[in-house]
Amino acid sequence: MTFARKVWHLLVGIKDGLALLFLLLFFGALYAVLMSRPSPGQVREGALLLKLDGTVVEEPEAADGFSALLGGSLPTKQYRARDLVRALDAATTDDKVKAVVLDLSRFTGGGLVHMEEIGAALDRVKAAKKPVLTYAFGYADDGVMLAAHSSEVWVDPMGGAFILGPGGQNMYYAKLLERFKITPHVYKVGTYKDYVEPYVRNDMSAPAREARSAVLGALFDSWKADVKKARPKANLDLVTKDPAGWYKAAAGDGAQAALNAGLVDKVGDRVAFGKHVAELVGEDKLDEKPGAFAHSTLKAFLAKHEAETKGKTIAVVTIAGEIVDGKAGPGKAGGDRIADLLDGKDTKDIKALVIRIDSPGGSVTASERIRTAIERQKAKGIPVVVSMANVAASGGYWVSTPGTRVFAEPGTVTGSIGIFAVVNSYEKALAGYGVTSDGVRTTPLSGQPDVFGGFTPEVEALLQSSIERGYQRFIGLVGKARGKTPEQVDAIAQGRVWDGGTARQLGLVDQFGSLDDALNYAAAQAKLESGDWHASYLGQKESGYSSLFERMTDDEDSSPPEEGDIFAMLNHRQQSMVERALTQASHLLGASGMQVYCLECPAPNAPQAKLTKPAGWLGWAYEVGLLSPS
C-alpha cells in the first residue's frame, strides 16, 4: 500500500505539473499575441483606411481597463493628431496606397488646430494625385471640416450634416447655492477671469461676454475660412444663417439638404460607398462582405512607417489636459509626472527641448512645478522652445514662460492670465437646522478658515492677499519672458483669453507655426543640420497593461454601428455638455488650492463618451450576455 500510495502521489504531481505548464504556455502565448505590434507586412495594396471611431487629441489618455470592464462599457477611442498626420504624409509616397479613405461614422471631433493640421495633410495626399474619399452617416462641425479636404464626400441616405459653430450656454449656480445656504468665498484677480462667475452670478458678466464673443468669433471665422478654401462650393451662409429654411427646402431630408448646400458630393449607404472605393483600389480578397475593399489599417501603416530615430535628440514634453497635482496622466498633466520626465535620464544628453502645450491650465502649484523643471533644463544652456496646440491658457500659459521662442496657430486659444480660488462654507445652512458655533480665539486666525462657523474678515483679507500675490507673480513671469513690464502685462492680462492672431499682435506669442516648425527652429538654435537630429517624445511609451487592454478591445477592421439620425447625433453632442456641467460642479465641491484655469477655453480632450457595445472579444461577451451595457 505504501508503494502504491507513492506511485499515486507521483502521478498526481506529474499531472499537476503538466497542467501548470500548459497553463503557463497558454497564457504566455496569449500575452505574446496581444502584446505583439502590428506587422509592417500587414500593409496591403489598396486604400489607407482611417476609421476615426472617437476623438483626435494631442495626447491620448491611458486606458482604464478595470473601470471599463466593471462598468460594462468602453471609452471612445482617442487618436493622436501627430500619428494621423504622419500616416497621411507617408501615404503620399507609399506606392501601395492608391487612395485614402476616411470613415467618420463615429467621429466625435477634436480641436481646431488639430483639424487644420489633418486637413493640410489631406491636401498633401491629393497633391500627390491620390484621391481622398470620406463616408459618414452624418457630419457635425469637425467632420464637415475634415470632409471638406476630401476629393469626394458621401453621406448615408438616412443621415445628414449640420454646423453648430462654437459657443453655447454655461450653468450658473448662485441661486442654487443661495437656496441651500452655501456661501462660496471667491478670491480672484482678473476682470475677465470668469471661471468663478457660475458660483456667484446667475448670468454672464459683460466683460466675460465681450471676451468670449471675440475669441469664439475668431475661431469660427478661422473654421469657415478653412472649409471655404478647401471646398469653395459649400454654401456656409445657407447652413449657418438659416438652418431651418435650409432643411425645409429639402423637405426635411438631411442627406439632400447636405447635398444642396455642397457639403457632400454623393448620397449612398456604406455598401455603395465601399463598392465605389473597390473600383478605385481593388476588392478585398480576404473579406466577402458587401462593400469590402482592399485596405491597410492605421496601426499597421504606422508600424511600417516608423518615425526616424537617427542623429542627436531633441526632446518633446507634452503638457496636455488639465494641470493637476501629482502623477496623473497621460491625458492629464500631472505636475509631478511631467517634472519627473524633465528631470529624468531621457533628458541627460538632449540638444534642445520643445514644450508642446494643449491645456487650459489648472493647479498653480503643479504649473509652478512644471515651470521650474523646464527652467532647470534651460539652465543647461539648451534651446527651449514652446509649441502651442489648441489651448495654452492660464496654467497652460504659466508653463510656457521659460520658452525662448513661442509658436502658436491663429486658432490657438491662449492668455487667460489670472488666478482664483473658491472655498465654500456652510454656516447659514447649519443655522437653518439650529446648529450654531461659538468658542474662544487667541488670534483672529484661530480655527480659521472655519467652513462650519464662517470666515473672519481677517482670513478673508489674508486669502485675497495671497491670490493677489499669486497674480503679481504670474504677470511677473510673463513680463520677464516677453520683455514687458508688469504694468504692460496687466493691461493685456486680467484673465482675458485671446485667439492666436491677437495674442501674436500683443506679444504673447512670437510667431505662427506648427510643432514641426518649433522643432526645426530648436534644431537651428542647437546648430543641428537637417537629418542630423530626431524628435523624442518623452512619456509616450505604453504600459504593458494598457497595450494589452487596447488589443483585447480593438478591432480596427470591424464596421462600427451607425450614429443614428440627426436627433441621436445632437443628443450625443449634448452629452458632452452634461459632462462639462458635472465637471464644473465637482470643481465647486472639490478641495483644491489656487487655480490658473480657463473656463471659456475649448476642452483639449473631448469627454469620454461611452460605446454601449464594444468591438472585439468583448462584443462577443455582450452578444452572449456575459456583459451588459451601462
The residue with cell 495671497 is 466
Question: Under a CB-based contact definition with an 8 Å cutoff, are residues 566 and 337 in contact?
Answer: no
- Residue 307 has a pLDDT of 86
CA-CA distance, 316 to 537, in Å (whole number)? 5
- Residue 168 has a pLDDT of 85
CA-CA distance, 515 to 207, in Å (whole number)? 33
Residue 391 clears pLDDT 90, i.e. is over it: yes
Task: Look up 193 and say whether it is catalytic.
Answer: yes
CA-CA distance, 330 to 60, in Å (whole number)? 7
Give how far Cα 241 sits from Cα of 142, 222, 246, 433, 573, Å.
Answer: 18, 17, 9, 53, 20
Of all residues in the chain, the percent with pLDDT exceeding 90 is 67
Q: How confident is the model at residue 544 (pLDDT cuts 50, 70, 90)?
A: very low
- Residue 585 has a pLDDT of 61
Tell me which of 105, 150, 296, 394 is the catalytic residue. Answer: 394
Residue 447 clears pLDDT 60, i.e. is over it: yes
CA-CA distance, 322 to 18, in Å (whole number)? 51
Look up residue 152 and give its amino acid: E
Stretch 274-291: mean pLDDT: 92
At 520, is the secondary structure helix, strand, or coil? Answer: helix
Look up residue 406 and give its amino acid: V
Residue 592 clears pLDDT 70, i.e. is over it: no
Question: Under a CB-based contact definition with an 8 Å cutoff, are residues 315 and 538 in contact?
Answer: yes
| Cα-Cα end-to-end distance for the chain | 59
Angle separating helix axes 141-148 and 112-127, nearest 10 degrees: 20
Say yes or no: domain 426-493 is CATH 3.20.20.140: no
- Residue 613 has a pLDDT of 40
For residue range 449-470, what is the model confidence (pLDDT) as tens digits?
Answer: 888 999 999 999 999 999 999 9
Better pLDDT: 563 or 336: 336
- Residue 623 has a pLDDT of 37
The three grid cell numbers given for residue 149, joined into one nine-digit string: 479636404
Check whether the bond before 232 is cis (ω within 30° of 0).
no
Select from 168, 104, 612, 141 the least CA-distant residue to 411. Answer: 141
- Residue 270 has a pLDDT of 95
Give how far Cα 426 sits from Cα of 263, 448, 590, 591, Å.
Answer: 54, 14, 14, 15
Select, from the ranges 7-21, 245-259, 545-559, the one with the highest average predicted confidence (pLDDT).
245-259
44-167+203-304+545-565+596-623 with 426-493: one CATH topology? no
At 548, is the secondary structure helix, strand, or coil? Answer: helix
Mean pLDDT across the chain, nearest whole number? 85
Better pLDDT: 284 or 600: 284
| CB-based burial label for 512 (10 Å; 0-12, 13-18, 19+) | middle
For residue range 593-616, what is the model confidence (pLDDT) as tens digits?
Answer: 677 777 667 655 444 433 334 443
pTM of the model: 0.85
- Residue 611 has a pLDDT of 37
Q: How confident is the model at residue 308 (pLDDT cuts 50, 70, 90)?
A: confident
Eight-state DSSP code of residue 399: T
- Residue 540 has a pLDDT of 73
CA-CA distance, 23 to 308, in Å (whole number)? 40
For residue range 195-221, what is the model confidence (pLDDT) as tens digits?
Answer: 889 889 999 999 999 999 999 999 999
Residue 625 clears pLDDT 70, i.e. is over it: no
Stretch 337-342: mean pLDDT: 97
- Residue 3 has a pLDDT of 61
Of all residues in the chain, the percent with pLDDT exceeding 70 is 80
CB atoms under 10 Å from CB of 509, counted, come to 29
CB atoms under 10 Å from CB of 150, counted, come to 25
- Of 261-265, 416-420, 561-565, the poorest mean pLDDT is in 561-565
Task: Look up 394 and say whether it is catalytic.
Answer: yes
For residue range 49-80, what is the model confidence (pLDDT) as tens digits?
Answer: 999 999 999 999 876 555 555 554 556 789 99
- Residue 9 has a pLDDT of 64
For residue range 122-174, what is the model confidence (pLDDT) as tens digits?
Answer: 999 999 999 999 999 999 999 999 999 999 999 999 999 989 999 888 889 99
* Pairing between β-strand 266-267 and β-strand 152-161 as defined by DSSP bridges: parallel
Tell me which of 98, 193, 332, 484 is the catalytic residue. Answer: 193
Where are the domains positioned within the chain? Answer: 44-167+203-304+545-565+596-623, 426-493
Q: Which CATH architecture has domain 44-167+203-304+545-565+596-623?
A: Alpha-Beta Complex (3.90)
